[in-house]
Structure 1
Amino acid sequence: MQFANQTGGNDFTLQGLLNSADTSVPLFFAFLCIFLVTISGNVIILTVVTMDRSLQTPMYFFLSNLSFLEIWYTMTIVPKLLANLIIKSNNISFSGCMAQLFFFVTFGATECYLLLVMAYDRYLAICKPLYYSSLMDTSTCLQLVAGSWVTGVLTGLIPVLFISHLNFCASRHVNHFYCDIPPLLELSCSNIYLTEISIFILSLVVLFSCLLLTLVSYVFIVNSILQIKSNSSRNRTFSTCGAHLTVVLIYYGTMIFMYVRPHSSYSSDLKKFISVFYTVVTPGLNPIIYSLRNKEVKMSVKKIAHRVLPSGFKKTQKNVKSIF
């Protein structure tokens, strides 16, 4: 059995999403549209939260961090996917592959922690309104966000350290559209038992602990909402929380399907299809679900547009309404 030296400059070859050339162009334009919506939506959120003082609250502070993360999370995966689809640029160096894996895991784990922080923030705001301002002060917000990012980086380092020390066989064709853990482990000629079990335990702890705590927060939130006497207020709050919870369940459900299992009998095409949800689709839904449906954000967009482009405000306002 031949081994490839990971420090020897040999490239990996990403086999891509689908082998059919007939679907490459339609998929390219579909993913390009989602990519542009994701980037532009998150840039809008960052701009609005930064420029409008009325939105500089804990909730929007956490949302702006999520938007910042989603931009880089999407940039880690989608540009290479688009290049693979349209110009068949499938090669990626070993160092580039490990870098992509590190940033993918780091941003993915940090998103889990931020979603948990956001659920906790909403729990305090809805269930403990009298104590909210004292419990969620500036110092606490900064500590929660910093803790999410630091823990995310540490989470991303662990699988990269394990996988980078494996030996890889002469065949370096990664059966995926990005450098992910399962297809890389399949290419290794080393004993991967310890690596696989370690990554499995890490995924289990991170995903299930964050999901469980997030769901517990929403249980308390729903219980408080049910006690609201006003039907309109209750329905509006339920609508917002239901949309948030839908994104959370899609994200966690697909991630658990992929990583919380040491072995799998599922086909490679099914794994790729599931991966599209948490690498392409969910980042595009987040700015729409979490902020762009929010009346405060829409009003802030209009105010900023009026301030920046006063002469063309009517036209801008019309375009904003068509977007939202």
Structure 2
Amino acid sequence: MMRFFVFIGMICLFSACVREQYRRIEGKIYGTYYRITYEAKEDFSEKLKAEMEKVNASLSMFNPRSVVARWNRGESEEVDSLFMRMFQAAEKINRETKGAFDITVAPLANAWGFGYKQNRFPLPEEIDSLLQYIGMEKLKIAGCHLLKEKKEMEIDASSIAKGLGVDLVAEFLEGHKVRNYMVDIGGEIRAKGESDKERPWRIGIDKPIGDVAASGRELQMIIQFTGGAIATSGNYRNYYIHEGKKYAHTINPRTGYPVQRDILSSSVYAPTCMEADAYATAFMVLGLEESKKIVENNAEIEVCFVYEQEGENKVWMTEKFKDLVVKEE
């Protein structure tokens, strides 16, 4: 009888140690890909897609029925809770970066052909005219309404919304007791626990090589972590050439022109992907020295900047970011 109980106990112990199934789903959303890997008994595929679609319903400029699209057209000032969550984070980072991150950049993005309107290369006087509609300080929250100082103002949340979509999926998984997962939407990533290889999740960071088709991808480095989010912003894929000069998709909201700074790519490790996404964009606008000052005063983020100096690409990382690196190419 004793042997029987010992045998049953060993079975129970063994069963407790067996890992649950790692599930993978992938597809297209927000104009890019998504790949989600998680360890769970239950298949959450449809529910995870529903979480991602919440962002399209609230923050997409390309969905004519979204909260943002209707606000941009002046049809409604009412906003939802997801918009409010995005707006509060954007407002904080806008203040911290002294306007380098600004979701009211939509008129400029459209003028340069990187928004929902496909224009190209505006005249200087057009840019000067549009600057009057830029600035988060011209917006005001009143209850569940967002008021704008000028009716021509529009919002482009693309530099923060994708990260928020990643967070929604991660929070859903954590709410269902999933301990091991990685959510990747267009290279914006949040992960927790371990991969099916029983090690921390490993993520490659691309070299900032000018390649619109992303056909010549090379890795700058590989990092690993068991909790947190990483987002990378760069101007080496989304750009066009006009009269021999490169014009990239990151617009400086303070000048109205595409960014021409020393940082080639900005990778930010943060508690949430929404924060990582927004800071990565802001640092592209600020450049190396201004960005360093912000990073030094923010204990919640770690960064890796690939920048150009005297015609050569160089790398600057915070000390804690260096701890994430497992392999450099």
Structure number with higher strand proportion: 2
